[in-house]
Homo-oligomer: A and B are copies of this chain.
Amino acid sequence: MTDSFNRSGASPPQKTIAPTYEGDFVLKEPLALECGRSLDCPTLHYAVYGRLNAARDNAVLVCHALSGSALVGSWWPEIFAPGAVLSLEHDFVICINMLGSCYGSTGPGSVNPETGEPFGPDFPLVSIRDNVRAQAQLLDSLGIRKLRLTLGGSIGGMQALEWSILCPGRVERALIIGVAPLGAMGLALNHLQRVAIEQDPEWEGGRYLPQKPPRKGLSLARQIGMISYKSAPLLEERYGRNPNRNGEDPWLEDRCGGLIGGRFDVAGYLDEQGRRFVERFEANSYLSIMRSMDTWDPLRGFGSAKEAFGRIKAKLSFVGISTDWLFPAEDVRLFAEAVRAAGANADYREMESSHGHDAFLAEQTELVRLLQ
């Protein structure tokens, strides 16, 4: 989940939808991972909204992004609006926290049953596909064989597509928003964030104590992330070359003598984003899920695009965001084309927005309009 927090208060506070149920599911067996390791009976934390009907054919799976949670009603409420994408009356909506996260599912902060200590840096690479396989077991346990829809933005979209590939008989429709396999610029941006955390001495090679996390490194990582989630025109419109709204003057020497001056407004905004993020997220979880994101390759293990995408039975819609530079719209369009060329039923839509990658969270009403 990326933030659309705006210090100017221009964005109205979002209403939040409470889940019908929020709980944990513990896998019955070790989860064999693509990297060759396994997780011993990991926990999936999940939330549901609405009720499963008798035919068990009204289930929808929402997949969250990097720092999101299972509480989709809190971070994506407008897709539940009457007549929007999801219906609290007719759908049974489930959202499952990704493995690696710090929001309830097994992650680097969880206890490693082999050692009795938190995993820390011993937490294995859990791929997008591994997540989907674990999620499928949770749905099995709920008696859900079929998803009327699965959807997600960013890494959530990776999961939605992976579901369509891995479990072709179980997915009727998938919405894949603002995502394609990460390109070199995206990999570069993630690398910079990783270095920012790694270089913080408080990170301690991943063995930091919960009460002494690498705040500075994670804050800088988040700030680097933020610029990739926002578009240059949006930053320009909101912050331009204004001095920081707290009164700092970039021409005055109020920090470290003359080398660092008062901040511009965009710098104050980024610092604030970093500060808020370290209050709510874990550095090791951030590293873990970034790695799931980096390594995602839907063709891995298949002989060809035809073999991978040709399996898909769901009707797919890909959504590119016009000003997204982390996952450029053109990349999403070409990816959709490649999937279609391989035999899947896939369309492509483009969301016109100045918000950049974040648009799927920041302009939910626009997104809903496009998806209808």
Residues of A near any B CB (own CB < 8 A): 34-35, 37, 108, 120-125, 181-185, 187-189, 191-192, 194-196, 198-201, 205-206, 216-217, 220, 223-224, 227, 232, 235-236, 238-241, 250-253, 256-261, 263-267, 270-271, 284, 287-288, 291, 294-295, 297, 325, 328
In the complex, chain B residues whose CB is within 8 Å of the CB of A232: 183-185, 325, 328
Decide if the interface of chain A is mainly helix, strand, loop or mixed: helix
Cβ-defined contact, B295 with A251, below 8 A: yes
Residues of B within 8 A of A35 (CB): 251-253, 258
Nearest residue (CB) in B for A216 is B199
Among residues of B, the one whose C-beta sits closest to the C-beta of A267 is B191
List B contacts of A37 (CB < 8 A): 253, 258
Chain B residues near A264: list those with CB within 8 A. 184, 187, 191, 294
Q: What would 16 A/B residue contacts be, using CB atoms closer than 8 Å? A: A35-B252, A120-B257, A125-B253, A185-B236, A187-B266, A188-B267, A191-B270, A192-B223, A192-B224, A196-B196, A201-B201, A206-B257, A232-B328, A259-B287, A261-B294, A261-B295
B239 and A220 form a contact (CB under 8 A) = no
Q: How far is the CB of A57 from chain B (nearest CB, A)?
A: 37
Are B250 and A124 in contact, CB atoms less than 8 angstroms apart?
no
CB neighbours (8 Å) of A200 from chain B are: 199
The residue in A189, A240, A241 that gathers the most chain B C-beta atoms within 10 A of its C-beta is: A241
CB distance from A233 to the nearest CB of B (A): 9
A250 to B, closest residue via Cβ: B295
CA distance A205 to B200 in the complex (A): 16
A196 to chain B, nearest CB (A): 6
Contact of A258 with B216 at beta-carbon distance under 8 Å, contacts A192-B223, A236-B184 already known? no
Nearest CB of chain B from residue A321's CB, rounded to whole Å: 15
- For A181, A192, A217, A328, the residue with the greatest tally of chain B CB atoms inside 10 Å of its CB is A192
Give, as a whole number of angstroms, the nearest-CB distance from A116 to chain B: 17
Q: Which residues of B contact A328 (CB under 8 A)?
A: 232
What 20 additional pairs, Cβ within 8 angstroms, besides A121-B260, A122-B257? A108-B259, A120-B257, A121-B257, A124-B258, A125-B251, A182-B241, A183-B235, A184-B238, A184-B265, A187-B241, A188-B227, A191-B266, A191-B267, A192-B270, A195-B271, A199-B216, A232-B328, A241-B297, A250-B291, A259-B287
